[in-house]
Structure formats: structure tokens, C-alpha cells
Amino acid sequence: MDEAPVPSIDHDVDAETGELERTIGLVGGLAIGIGTMVGAGIFVFPGLAAENAGPAASLSFAIGAVVALLVALPTSELATAMPRSGGGYVYISRGLGTAAGAVVGIGLWIGLVFASAFYLVGLGNYAGQVLLEVGIAVPIDPAPVLGVAFGVSLTVLSLFGTENTAVLQNGIVVLLLVILTLFLGYGSLDALGVFGGESVPERFFPPGGILPVFRTAALVFTSYLGFAQVATVAGDIEDPGRNLPLAMVGSVIVVGVLYVVTIFVATSAFGSARLGEFGETAMVEVAREFVGLPGAVVILFAGLLATFSSANASILSSSRAVYAVSRDRILPMTASRINLRYGTPHIALTLAGGPIVVLTATGQVALLAEVASVLHLVMYGLICVTLIKLRRESPSWYDPSFRCPGSWSLPAAGAVTSFGLIVFMQPSSIAIGVVIMIASYLWYRMNARDVELKGAF
């Protein structure tokens, strides 16, 4: 019996599925990166991070920013050589082979599902806080219910065009940055004693020393997933050779600074223990401490914008991960079909939005965040390994318009730090991540091992 021919996937689109339109410019790319990251790092994590690491939580966020930059630079080079939707999946599948690509691609899809659910729970928490502020008592925890409602709404919005999503994202991020600049500027001056008395700082490191700082860095690393989501929607980005590196590296730098300042301001307003008692809406109480009810209302509004923005960008990116893996026949090709009227992958959006809504209903903030981080950190480490391998082999199709500095040393440092940060996560989160990767590999072995991916772009 003759063997079945091996499918060769060496093009960006399939005649049966259609092509994504490049409608997102540099501002839109920055908005996806910044908008995704600001939501978690400023409006969900400060209370949790301060409870675990005290004022040294600012160092945790700085560690996360360094790891993200060590990966963002190699990712930028790979993205300009392969400017297609799918991000890390595309790079790893072409550089390390189909098996590694399948594990990362399916893992990226599920990791973004967990991240999106995490952001939606945060959005639900802020929406629930709004109900409390206006005196509406709810007999149950409103966060999961409201998060599910927002998840369904955002998925439907994305079905009607990427341009609609991008315009909404741009507006939200601009308004959000204006609010945060004013709030953090005022809070920093207050913490330094310009208004009222100067705050007396508590002990910088927690009683456990440096270890809680690294554990907190592992927890909050979900805050830095936004730069990779820019790469995931590369097929929608205009002038990718210029805009992809600027959007990825720029978004990490902007939000890294914002995070460190946020922890400084928050821990100056309250002690770390009390800040931790406020949980996911701690920044509302910080604003209330500074300027009373008006401050709390403004930060509630900003928190709604930020978590909405994070969820919006993550749902879009998750659908593009499904689209990319399906287009390469790792998943059924029907998932990569494009709605001809709106130019969006409607089936992929459904496959992303459905699981997101289910996970949002659990309301498990820390677990959702860490599982998303585990799956992304594995991908980040393999992205760095991919860059080293492609530079050594220098295939004819590999012609990036941006070059990562540092020869092999910078991507090697990115790989080591990415894999190393996983060690500090909770065993349950690591276990779930490992199960997902094993299941992804088994899917590949049973359904897609005959697919051969080429690197011609």
C-alpha cells in the first residue's frame, strides 16, 4: 500500500480558509500589549503581591519585567521573520519541529484561555465592587457571574471584526494611561511627603527573605503576557517589520515602570498585611485613602477599563492561536475558516470563548494566573532556544528585519530565566500545565504526526 502524502504547510493562508486583514497599526499593537498587561499588574495583583512579598513585591514585578524583556527581544526578531498569526507556535514549529510546535500551539491556546478567564474574574470583581459602592447587595459572589457575562459579550464583539476590537482597545488604553499617570503621580508625591506627612516605610523584604519575592514574581508574571499576545496577532499587524518589535519591547518597558511605581504607592498608603486584606480591589482602597470617594470612583472606573482591556485582547489572541494551529492542520482545518463578511475566524473565536467562559465561572484567581504563566513560560523558553537554533543553521527563508542584540547570550539568558521561574510556582499549577502539554503531545501523535511544516514565508 502506498503511503499517504505528507502535507506541506509553507504558506500563510489556505484558499479554503481565507486571509486575515492587516488592520492594526503601531498604536494598536502597543494598545494590545499595554492594555493586556496593565489590567492584571495594577488592578488585580497589588494586594495579593504585597501580602506575599511586602514592599519587595516591587522587586517581584521588576524581575518579571527583566524576564519579559529577555524574551521580547528574541520574539521580536522571530516575529519579523515570520509575521503570521500564532506567535510562538509559528516560530517553534518552524524552528524545532512539528511535535514541539503542536505542544506549544495547543498549550498557547489553552494558556490564553486561562489568562483570559483570570482577567475576566478580575473584571467581575471590579464590577461587583461598583455594585457595593452604589449600595446594591448581592447574595452571592458576583465576580464569576459578571465575568461570564463580559466574556460572552467580548467574544461576540470580536466576531464582528478585528478593527472594531482594535478601535475599542486603543481608546481604552489612552484613557487608562491618562488616569494612571495622574493617580500614580499624585500617589508618589504623597508617599514622598509632599502632601501631608512622609510615609514611614516598613521592612522591604518579607520575613521569608528573597524566596517569597521569586514566588511572587512567578505569580504575577501573568501580568507580562501582553507582549507575546502582540506576536500572536502578527497576521493582523500593519508593517510588521517595524511595528512588531516596537510594540512588544515598548509595551514591556511602559508597564514595567507602572508596576514598580504602583507597588511603591500602594504600600505607602497601607501596610502590606492590610493591603492584602483588600484582595483584588486593593487599589480602590488606596485611592480612597488618598482623595476619598472621588478617588475610589475614578480607580473603580479605571479598573473596569483595565480588566476589560486585558480580557478583550486575550480573547482576540486566544482565537488567533486556534486559527494558526488549525491552519497548519494540527487541529481540524474548519477552525481556521474566515467569516467572509467580517474577516474574522469565527469558529476559532468560538473555540476560544467557550472554554474561557467555563473557566471564568470557577473564580479561581491565583490558579488561573499561574497555569497561564506556566504554559507561557515554557513557550518563552522554547522561543529563545528556537532563535539560537535558527541563527546557527541560518536557513534560506530566515531573513528577519530586526536583529536581537547579544548574539546567543541574550536568548540563552531568556531561556534559563523563563524555565527557572516555573520552579517557584505552586505544584498544582505546574501539574495542570504538565497535563495540558502531555495531552497536547498525545493529540499530535494521534491526529497530526504526518503534518510537515516548512519555514518558507
DSSP letters of 156-220? HHHHT-HHHHHHHHHHHHHHHHHHHHHHHHHHHHHHTTSSSSPP----SS-TTTTHHHHHHHHHH
Query: What angle, 0 to 180 degrees and rounded to 10, lies between the N-to-C axes of helices 211-220 and 46-53?
Result: 160
Query: Residue 365: its pLDDT value, please?
Result: 72
| Residues found in the chain | 457
The neighbouring-strand residues paired with 9 are: 453
Assigned C-alpha cell, 223: 501580568
Q: State residue 417's pLDDT score.
A: 95
Q: Tell me, yes or no, whether 62 lies in a domain.
A: yes
Within-domain flag for 331: yes
In a domain, 36, yes or no: yes
User: DSSP letters along 80-93, please?
Assistant: HHS-STTTHHHHHH
CA distance 274 to 81: 48
What pLDDT score does 79 carry? 87
Q: Give pTM, 2 decimals.
A: 0.80
158 contacts: CB under 8 Å, gap ≥ 6: 165, 312, 315, 316, 319, 344, 349, 353
SS3 197: coil
Q: What are phi and psi of 52, to 5 degrees?
A: -85, -40
Q: Cα dist. 436→19, 94, 111, 248, 429 in Å?
A: 29, 21, 9, 27, 11
Q: Closest by alpha carbon to 86, among 105, 114, 111?
A: 105
Q: Find how far residue 15's CA is from the centre of its chain.
A: 31
Distance CA 299, CA 285 (A): 9
Whose grid coordinates read 501539574? 431
pLDDT at 14 (0 to 100)? 38
Rg, Å, the chain Cα set? 21
Q: What is the C-alpha separation between 175 and 91, in angstroms, rounded? A: 34
397-406 per-residue burial string, b: 16 or more CB within 10 A, e: under 16: ebebbbebee
Residue 299: the pLDDT is: 87
Q: In a structure prediction context, what are the per-residue pLDDT tens digits for the chain, which is 457 residues long?
A: 433 333 333 333 433 444 555 667 888 888 878 877 887 678 878 888 888 888 899 999 999 999 999 999 999 899 888 877 677 888 998 899 888 988 998 888 888 888 888 888 888 888 888 887 777 776 677 778 888 888 888 777 776 655 555 666 677 778 888 888 888 888 888 777 766 555 556 777 878 788 999 999 988 888 887 787 787 777 677 887 788 889 999 999 998 999 999 888 888 888 788 888 887 778 888 888 888 888 888 888 888 888 887 787 777 777 777 877 888 888 877 766 766 666 666 777 777 778 888 888 887 777 888 898 899 899 999 999 999 999 999 888 898 988 998 888 999 999 999 999 999 998 999 999 999 999 999 988 888 777 666 544 4
How many domains does the chain divide into? 1
Distance CA 174, CA 168 (A): 10
15 in any annotated domain: no
For residue 367, the model assigns a pLDDT of 84
Residue 303 is predicted with a pLDDT of 83
**Residue position matching grid coordinates 491618562:** 178
3-state DSSP percent of the chain in helix, strand and coil, to 5:
75, 0, 25
Grid coordinates of 83: 509575521
Question: Is there a domain that residue 2 lies in?
Answer: no
Answer whether residue 16 is part of any domain: no
From CA 415, how far away is CA 420, in angstroms rounded?
A: 8
CA atoms within 13 A on the CB side of 295: 17
> In what helix (H) or strand (E) does residue 453 lie, and over which residues does it extend?
strand 452-453
Residue bearing cell 540563552: 412
Query: Which residue in 418, 416, 413, 411 sits closest to 378, CA to CA?
Result: 418
Torsion-angle region of residue 196: left (phi > 0), alpha (psi -120 to 50) or beta? Answer: left
Residue 202 Cα to chain centre, angstroms: 31
425 within some domain: yes
292 lies in which domain range? Answer: 26-449
Q: What residues contact 282, with CB distance under 8 A and at least 6 apart?
A: 46, 47, 50, 266, 275, 276
* CA distance to 29, 175, 236, 434, 448, per residue, from 227 (Å): 9, 20, 15, 23, 29
Residue 325 sits at φ, ψ, to 5 deg, of -65, -40
Q: Which three cell numbers stand for residue 305?
A: 477599563
Q: Is 429 part of any domain? A: yes
- Classify each residue of 336-366 as buried b or exposed e, where b means 16 or more C-beta atoms within 10 Å of its C-beta: bbbeeebbbbbbbbebbbebbbebbbebbbe
DSSP structure class, residue 144:
H
CA distance 330 to 322: 10
CATH number for the domain spanning 130: value is 1.20.1740.10
